[in-house]
Structure 1
Amino acid sequence: MSQRSFRRSIAIWLAALFAAYLALAYFAAPEFWTFRDRGFRTQHFEMVTHTPQGIPGDPINVGLVGTQKEVVHAFAVAGWDTADAVTLKTAIEIGESVLFDHPYPDAPVSRLLFDGRAQDLAFEKPVGAPAPRRDDGRVWETPCGGGGGRPRWGGSASFDRGVGLSHDTGAVTHHIGPDIDAERDFLMRDLATAGVLISTGDISGVGATSTGRNGGGDPYFTDGEAIVGILKQ
């Protein structure tokens, strides 16, 4: 076999392997999880998020009471950026941020479902230069009203420590740090320091968990409580 033919054969095999990986990670494995956990959408207002395939995701560990404008304003004053939407352009920008070690403060976050809906708003705070290390905050408006008739928001706060492969599907994803209570406290402390909170209180969340796993298969532990902050009007 000539060297040119050998290289062509290698290229074909690599392309076939890559296609097989894409089919497994982004089609077959997600379909398996969708079939396995197809009943999760009937569990109304469960205090945990899910991926679009039905894999349990990050717990709900924060809450806010305020209008959408007040929520956006509060995060902005606290130094958090609004996350971009997931598009081909933003995916390329994430890759450039990782490869060339430069900041991407508005990098997208993945979709998570709470009570059957994707997050209404997503915020982040970069840690260092590349996009993979950042503080994440997703929030969903809930049907439960807060004080003064203002909307109540459920949210999940976590720390993205780097990019890797999902332990459940093999797809590319961000891996979170295991101490989600520390991230919950960090977010609420940021909002308090920014002077946008009137008060805070604790409510029951998912319950004490020492062996939790999120949508990417990352382990986490928590005392199971959610902290709710009342935003200034």
Structure 2
Amino acid sequence: MRAAPRRPRGRRAALLAMVDGAFTLLGAVAAGWLALLTVQRIATGGLRDWWLVLVLWVLLAYLLLPRLHGLLTRVYVPDYFIGRTRTYEGLLGDPVNAAVLGTTEDLHTAMTRGGWQLADELGFRSGLRTVTSTLARRTYTTAPVSPLHLFGRSQDLTYQQEVEGSPARRHHVRFWRTPPGWRLPGGARVDWLAAGTYDRRVGLSAFTLQVTHKIDVDTDAERDHLVATVLAGSPEVRVRTIRHFSSGYHARNGGGDAIRTDGHLPVIDLTDVVDEARAVHGAPPPEWHGLAAPARALLAAVRDTGASNRDHRPLTLYLGHVLVLLRLLVTAVVAAGAAAAVVLAPGGAAPAWLPAPEDLVPWPSAPGPPLLVLGGALLAWLACAVLSQLVFAGSSTARLVVLAAAVVDVVVLLTATTTGSGPLASRAWTTALVLDLGVVITLSSGDVRDFTLRRRHPGTPPAGPRARAAPGDQGSGQA
């Protein structure tokens, strides 16, 4: 008797995407509800609740607005190549303004000889170093660049040139390797597409309110800078320009920055870069140490920086794991405070400096004594912390259990008749709810889902902002 066929991985991924979509929708609704409650409390509480302004900004910038954009852009943003990149939420990003012919080694050699630095991967350490370097105005020549998506995936390589030793101002260009057999509109074959822009300062995104780099409006100037630096470092490079590759236009990128382009697309031919260097010089001369020679040694690491990002734990997973631990910490602190009140004042009034247990419980409408409720919540979040560690190791089942627990906690908190009789309970209620929503939003994101799927099924392709489309489906737009 033949064994039953296994369910295709694509069907499992699609089912998980639907489940995550439901969690995301619930999280967005709850975040909107909490935002309205926060505005109401700010209006009635005055300056004594100033900290709620920060809570409101976090809710809008990192929980509510990105998810709303993600849901809406799946409807109105075209799902094929139109000469624009996309943010993870699906918003149109920087324009594609250059193309390249050549191998990874050719590209790395030409960019390095042109004075460009290969950017670090975007991770916890590199992100923290970027923040500290920007605040301290210290140089960080290989600072990471935020991911943009093309062909359903983030960039494969990123290069940058820091300006005046400040991570806030830099030239940078992202490269995507084109899918096998893919051609530009009109039929031209290229190996890489690129999007180059100039970061002029750090600011807030006009669409999500997140902290981000603000780019210069003249994207053509950065395109021309890329071509000029490559030609200066490698005179053997050939460049031809596809004029009016797209109509010239004015628009805004995913951060709300104005952009302007004439629509021309230079095609940079690097096929002779490495070969000519070997023919003329034989072995690389001393001044090329760190340039052509390391290109071969670094080839394995440089070949697909985006793949390295996708194979490692995504930054969103780190954030979700930290939020679960913080949620456990909040519950533990509240439970410890309530227990201390009972221990220090058995059968009598608690000391004046210590709130009563009922003043610490952020959901006093729950059935049972405060200590019993807090004890149960503490055990539940302790279990979630253990499960979160399993998610960190790549467990898809543990991720769904933690998501379900966080949603249940959100419902319990939002449906409580009061938020406690004291200010500590009110703040504990707000903090707990924000952390719960953060857990739902982060652990239901596509990159965390992809990570757990890859751990279960190695080789599963990553999902970009359009997970339902295969890379080859985002073609040139030709019939």
The secondary structure found in structure 2 opposite 1:154 is: strand
Question: In the alignment, what sits opposite 1:208?
Answer: 248
Matched position secondary structure for 1:132: strand
Q: 8 Å contact 2:99–2:190 — kept in the other structure?
A: no
SS at match of 1:181: helix
1:37 aligns with 2:73: yes
Alpha-carbon distance between aligned partners in 1 of 2:64 and 2:190, rounded to the nearest angstrom:
39
Which residue number corresponds to residue 148 of structure 2? 112
- Specify which of 218, 233, 249 is matched with residue 179 of structure 1: 218
Match of 2:89 in 1: 53
The answer on whether the counterparts of 1:161 and 1:177 sit within 8 Å (CA) in structure 2 is yes
Give the share of equivalent positions with the same residue, in percent. 33
In the TM superposition, what is the alpha-carbon distance from 1:34 to its structure 2 partner?
A: 1.2
The gaps in structure 2 that reach 5 residues or longer are 1-44, 184-188, 275-479
Give the CA deviation at 1:103. Answer: 0.8
Structure 1 residue 63: deviation in Å? 0.8
- 2: CA distance, partners of 1:99 / 1:191: 31
For residues 85 and 121 of structure 2, what CA distance do their matches in structure 1 show? 19
The aligned counterpart of 2:127 is 91
CA deviation profile, 1:28-80 (whole Å, cap 9, x unmatched) = 11111112210467622221001010111101001111111211121111111
* Alpha-carbon separation, structure 2, partners of 1:196 and 1:87: 36
2:264 to 199, 219, 225: 225
State yes or no: 1:165 paired with 2:204: yes
**Superimposed CA distance per residue, residues 73-128 of structure 1 (whole angstroms, 9 cap, x where no aligned partner):** 21111111111112222222112222222210011111101122110100100011
How far apart are residue 145 of structure 1 and its match?
A: 6.6
Which one of the candidate residues 105, 109, 134 is aligned to 2:170? Answer: 134
Higher share in helix: 2
Q: CA deviation at 1:205?
A: 3.8
Whether contact under 8 Å (2:200, 2:216) holds in the other structure is yes
Structure 2 distance, partners of 1:88, 1:10, is 36
Partner of 1:157, secondary structure, is strand
- Cα deviation for residue 199 of structure 1 reads 1.0
In the aligned structure 1, how far is the partner of 2:74 from the partner of 2:173?
A: 26
SS at match of 1:138: strand
Distance 1:178 1:57 in 2: 13
3-state DSSP of counterpart to 2:168: coil
Q: Which residue of 1 aligns with 2:468?
A: none
Higher relative contact order (Cα pairs below 8 Å, separated by 6+ residues): 1
In structure 1, the residue matched to 2:61 is 25
Matching residue of 1:66: 102
Question: Contact 1:197–1:230 (CA<8 Å) still a contact in 2?
Answer: no
Map of 1:3 onto structure 2: none
SS across alignment from 1:54: coil
Query: For residues 153 and 262 of structure 2, what CA distance do their matches in structure 1 show?
Result: 25
Looking at structure 1, the residues matched to 246 and 205 of structure 2 have their Cα atoms a distance apart, in angstroms, of 22
C-alpha deviation, 1:10, in angstroms: 9.7
- Contact map agreement 1:60 1:205 (CA 8 A) in 2: no
Match of 1:4 in 2: none
Write the letter of the residue equivalent to 1:62.
A
User: What are the equivalent positions in structure 2 for 1:73-84 lying under 5 Å apart?
Assistant: 73-84=109-120
The Cα of 1:226 is off from its aligned counterpart by 1.3
Contact 1:48–1:56, Cα closer than 8 Å, also in 2: yes
- Does the 8 A contact of 2:77 with 2:91 survive in 1? no
Q: For residue 151 of structure 1, report the CA deviation from its aligned partner.
A: 6.1
- Alpha-carbon distance in 1 for matches of 2:208, 2:227: 32
Q: Normalization by structure 1: what TM-score?
A: 0.87
Distance 1:80 1:10, change over 3 A: farther
Alignment-derived partner of residue 155 in structure 1 = 194
CA contact (8 A) 1:114 1:140 kept: yes
Residue 198 (structure 1) shift: 2.7
How much is the aligned-residue C-alpha RMSD, in angstroms? Answer: 2.3
Answer yes or no: is the 8 Å Cα contact 2:196–2:219 preserved in 1.
Answer: yes
The CA distance in 2 between the partners of 1:116 and 1:39, in whole Å, is: 16
Match of 1:212, SS state, is strand
Do the aligned partners of residues 129 and 11 (structure 1) sit closer, same or farther apart at CA in structure 2, a change above 3 Å counting?
Answer: farther
| Kept after mapping to 2: 8 A contact 1:62/1:184 | yes
Instruction: Count the aligned residue pairs.
Output: 221
Amino acid at match of 2:226: L
Q: Pick the structure with greater CA Rg.
A: 2
Which AA in structure 2 matches 1:25? A
Moved more, 133-142 or 13-22: 13-22
Q: If the length of structure 2 is used for normalisation, what is the TM-score?
A: 0.44
CA contact (8 A) 1:33 1:53 kept: yes
